[in-house]
A and B are shown apart, each in its own frame.
Chain A
């Protein structure tokens, strides 16, 4: 039981550390940049004849 608890703690810490590192890296991902997969961020059209 004790061994199992240590294993769970170890596994949990291994999962938490990369998440914390990613959050503190400050590098904006694609979501932060708001870009599509191909670099297009936004398209705007002015249209006529819309009802």
Chain B
């Protein structure tokens, strides 16, 4: 799995802890990493993902449908799952303020059935912590 993930675009380093079943992925400085691709690559290597968390920096934007999103690059954003913390970010929408947040992108649904992972799976970001506003 480590090699499988290490081959993914934009991945600098993969650290696997067998004891607590944790996988840490560090992106390349100037690369573009796609969490959905990481999720798919992990499933393809025969391992089931229970949770995926991400720390990212970007701007808060409001899209055409009225949903708030964290825009991490000109053409890349993650829709925010509404919660108490995401409400704190809403006033920053379409402002130049950059925020660093830690959030959950994926949580395995309850049940034993293993679903096929799709790379195009739309991942929503549930904000767990606001680390910085600038």
Judged by a CB distance under 8 angstroms, whether A50 is at the interface is yes
Chain B, 69-100, CB within 8 A of any chain A CB: 72-73, 76, 100
Judged by a CB distance under 8 angstroms, whether A47 is at the interface is yes
How far is B100's CA from A40's CA once the two chains are assembled, in angstroms?
A: 9
Q: Is the CB of B30 within 8 A of A37?
A: yes
Q: Is the CB of B46 within 8 A of A49?
A: yes
Grouping DSSP codes into helix (H, G, I), strand (E, B) and loop, the A interface class, with mixed when no group exceeds half, is: mixed
- Out of B22, B25, B32, B50, name the residue touching A42 (CB < 8 Å): B25
Q: Is the CB of B32 within 8 A of A38?
A: yes
Per-position 1/0 for B8-25, Cβ under 8 A of A: 001010001010111111
Q: Is the CB of B21 within 8 A of A44?
A: no
A-B contact pairs, 25 of them (CB 8 A): A35-B29, A36-B28, A36-B31, A37-B10, A37-B73, A38-B10, A38-B33, A41-B56, A42-B54, A43-B24, A43-B38, A43-B54, A45-B22, A45-B23, A45-B25, A45-B51, A46-B49, A47-B47, A47-B50, A48-B21, A48-B47, A48-B48, A49-B46, A50-B1, A51-B18
